[in-house]
Copies of this chain bind each other. A is one copy, B any other.
Amino acid sequence: VTERKPVRVSIDAMGGDGAPETVLAGVELALQADPALQVILSGPESLSNPIASLSGAARSRVSTVFAESTLPADVNAARALRRGQGSSLWVALEQLQTDQADAMVSGGSTGALMALSRQMLGMLPGVERPALMGAIPTLSRPVWMLDLGANLQVDARRLLEFAQLGHVAYDVLEGRHPRIGLLNIGSEPGKGPDVIREAARLIESETTLDYQGFVEADQVFAAAVDLVVCDGFAGNILLKSAEGAVRLMFSALVENLQGSLAGWMARSRIRSLHDSLDPARHNGAPMLGVRGTVIKSHGGSCARGFARAVELAALQARRDLVGQLEHQLWASY
């Protein structure tokens, strides 16, 4: 193992359903796994109490910054822009803006994170709005997908932009060029809405992109491609549908196997499988296009999931994803 570069991750301690407890537990896990990680937590004064109870090695790499308020989980973008200043989200982004952190993580409102990060950090050249990228678990490897809900209605050029942003991000994170597919309701060339067919023409004509054609929702889980491009509405439906179906399946399985010897014996294996394949646990969605490493954590994430989001933030900062994106976007002008 090569020595890791020190990295400072700023964290909104108050974002997400289980905040701040889940966030703190996740931070502790991330600090244990990464000796070169430093964490800056933003939140109320009372945060210092739980931090004092962290194990010594972890505690020395955590600092806090005071935030006078917390944005509600369902706050929308407009309201966040008007009222967000001084909130734990705002203060966490400020660390990144003032170069006191290399990356930032929040489990709070997606709309607020998107709006404030765009306003405070600015956008990369030519990119108008951030896109949210996330990982879908499969048997072989995660498939990355964007957009996951930051952009509900998009035109064909925007879908091309998602493909370009995702191509660079995948390359930086996974170390190779992705095979790219466009989410559609059929795989034949003539299928689907006009905007998707037009996007297919645009993406296909970019020779730097390895475009594989349309991909149907079920094929995403078979890792038919490495990177799936779609609008945020479709991406959100795909992801949440899979979450709902998987959750249903496991409750049914647990109920069905209850009271049987086989069930008792199989239980721990089933649970660990659930952990490895539940889309909700593949946590950490890079917000691509903003001038800074910003990661959205699932609001309902567990501590281990939050730790993953922090690890992803550290990885992106170390590999300078934002610099790479900026370089590629300038090159494409």
The minimal Cβ–Cβ distance linking A78 to chain B, given in whole angstroms, is: 10
Task: Determine if B241 and A185 form an interchain contact, defined as CB atoms under 8 angstroms apart.
Answer: no
In the complex, the chain B residue whose C-beta lies closest to that of A78 is: B190
Task: Determine if B217 and A237 form an interchain contact, defined as CB atoms under 8 angstroms apart.
Answer: yes
Q: With an 8 A cutoff between CB atoms, is A220 at the interface?
A: yes
Given contacts A236-B185, A249-B249, A265-B262, contact A218 B241 (CB under 8 A): yes
Q: With an 8 A cutoff between CB atoms, is A261 at the interface?
A: yes
B240, B246, B257: which contacts A269 (Cβ < 8 A)? B257
In the complex, the chain B residue whose C-beta lies closest to that of A255 is: B139
The interface residues of chain B lying within 8 Å CB-to-CB of A279 are 245
> Which A residues between 136 and 161 are near B, CB-CB below 8 angstroms?
137-139, 149, 152-153
Task: Determine if A269 and B256 form an interchain contact, defined as CB atoms under 8 angstroms apart.
Answer: yes
Task: Determine if A193 and B153 form an interchain contact, defined as CB atoms under 8 angstroms apart.
Answer: yes
The interface residues of chain B lying within 8 Å CB-to-CB of A220 are 241, 244
> Which A residues between 234 and 265 are near B, CB-CB below 8 angstroms?
234, 236-249, 251-253, 255-257, 260-265
Task: Determine if B247 and A273 form an interchain contact, defined as CB atoms under 8 angstroms apart.
Answer: no
The minimal Cβ–Cβ distance linking A298 to chain B, given in whole angstroms, is: 12
Size category of the binding interface on chain A: 35 or more
Task: Determine if A222 and B248 form an interchain contact, defined as CB atoms under 8 angstroms apart.
Answer: yes
The minimal Cβ–Cβ distance linking A206 to chain B, given in whole angstroms, is: 24
Q: Copies of this chain, how many? A: 2
The interface residues of chain B lying within 8 Å CB-to-CB of A265 are 260-262, 265-266
Q: With an 8 A cutoff between CB atoms, is A233 at the interface?
A: yes
Task: Determine if B244 and A246 form an interchain contact, defined as CB atoms under 8 angstroms apart.
Answer: no
Q: With an 8 A cutoff between CB atoms, is A166 at the interface?
A: no
Taken together as a complex, chains A and B put the C-alpha atoms of A264 and B263 apart, in Å, by 11
B188, B238, B245, B269: which contacts A237 (Cβ < 8 A)? B238
The minimal Cβ–Cβ distance linking A113 to chain B, given in whole angstroms, is: 15
In the complex, the chain B residue whose C-beta lies closest to that of A221 is: B244
**14 contacting pairs across A/B (C-beta < 8 A):** A76-B190, A138-B248, A153-B193, A216-B240, A217-B241, A221-B245, A221-B248, A222-B248, A233-B234, A238-B238, A241-B241, A257-B266, A262-B265, A262-B266
Where the two chains meet, the residues of A that have a C-beta atom closer than 8 Å to any C-beta of B are 74, 76, 137-139, 149, 152-153, 183, 185, 188, 190, 192-193, 216-222, 232-234, 236-249, 251-253, 255-257, 260-266, 269-270, 273, 276-277, 279
